[in-house]
Amino acid sequence: MNGLFSPYALKDMVMKNRIVMAPMCMYMAEAGMADDWHLAHYASRAAGGAGLIVFEATAVSPEGRISDYDLGLWRDEQVPGLRRIVDAIHREGAMAGIQLGHAGRKSEVSDSEPVSCSALRFNEEGALPMELDYPGIHRIIGDFGHAAARAHAAGFDYVELHGAHGYLINQFLSPLVNQRTDGYGGQFENRARFLLETIREVRLHWPKEKPLAVRISAEEYDGAGNHTVDMAAILNLVKSEGLDIVHVSSGGVVPGVVETWPGYQIRFAENIRLETELPVIGGGLITSPQQAEDIVRSGRADLVFLGRELLRNPFWPLLSARSIKADVAWPEPYERAKPF
């Protein structure tokens, strides 16, 4: 049985281990441009031993940003800065991924009006979004495709569509938000249409040899919302369009308090894996190397994502290997510090 530090291949992407740095918004970009701060942030986690580094939610259009300080891939000038970071990640032996997203009604960009599938606020303080018409829907789908082409130009190994945490794709998927009565609303086949057409468009621009993922909220923590069985049905409807792996998360669609514990989302990942027969990335507040090892060895998830733990400690993968008796190579300049 494969363990946490065993290699993992998905199409042309070959990871040296099963550890994924999850996308985490940094809000450090000016005009959507990556700079030296992002280079240090991502390259240090690659040097620290993670197998796949997934960049934070990167907007496919200016109005699709969560804030004024999100990374973007809506214009060609944003490619070189990202390419420089991707090259640095590759030099450290890691794979580079990017999460493409559109905030929809959760956008707080200062100079644009938020949009969504339906004109419903996220909360009392949130702006009222404009309901997208068909031309607006198709324009955003096209934006995802163009951003995927730029991601390929920047050298990324993996693209992930952000369909979780209450952002635009998730808004279309969720009955808690999607109140449409046309071909993009109602029954789950219609609510899945925006995601299906986005995958189809991205696949026109993203090479078939490279993996395409979607991040989902497998549980919306509301009785009237989507649950794991619903999301599995949606994924089974769209996976034939070129989906290779599912990054399983939860929540964020509507306001609410979620009870959490180390690995609290692994049960969702395991069920999605069983119901869709797609590989999955699972996690959620994991800090223990043994827990991550057990998740992979038991087959509950193919890959394990870490978020806050890698913010606290970029070298968690290297330092964790010893505790589960895995012998991994350290960057040559750091070899003298390797514990034996």
Per-residue pLDDT at 1: 54
Q: What is the phi/psi pair of residue 49, to 5°?
A: 110, 0
Rounded distance between C-alpha atoms, residue 76 and residue 92, angstroms: 26
Q: Residue 69's domain is classified under what CATH number? A: 3.20.20.70
Helices 193-205, 134-153: crossing angle, 10 deg rounding: 40
Both tokens of residue 9? 């291949």
Whether 287 is in a domain gets the answer yes
Structure-token pair, residue 192: 């899945």
Please give the pLDDT value at position 97: 98
Query: Could you give the CA distance from residue 258 to residue 319 in angstroms, rounded to a whole number?
Result: 30
Which residue intervals of 48-99 are DSSP H helices? 79-91
How many structural domains does the chain have? Answer: 1
Q: Residue 83: which domain range?
A: 8-337
Domain assignment of residue 1, yes or no = no
Q: Is 3 within a domain?
A: no
Distance separating alpha carbons of residues 70 and 81, to the nearest angstrom = 14
| Mean pLDDT for back-to-back runs of 10 residues, the chain (340 residues) | 91 98 97 98 98 98 98 98 98 98 97 96 94 98 98 98 98 98 95 98 98 98 96 98 98 92 97 98 97 97 98 97 92 90
Question: What pLDDT score was predicted for residue 340?
Answer: 73
- In the prediction, which pLDDT does 309 show? 97
pTM of the model: 0.96
Asked if residue 2 belongs to a domain, the reply is: no
Q: Could you tell me which residues come within 8 angstroms of residue 291 by beta carbon, excluding any fewer than 6 positions away?
A: 262, 263
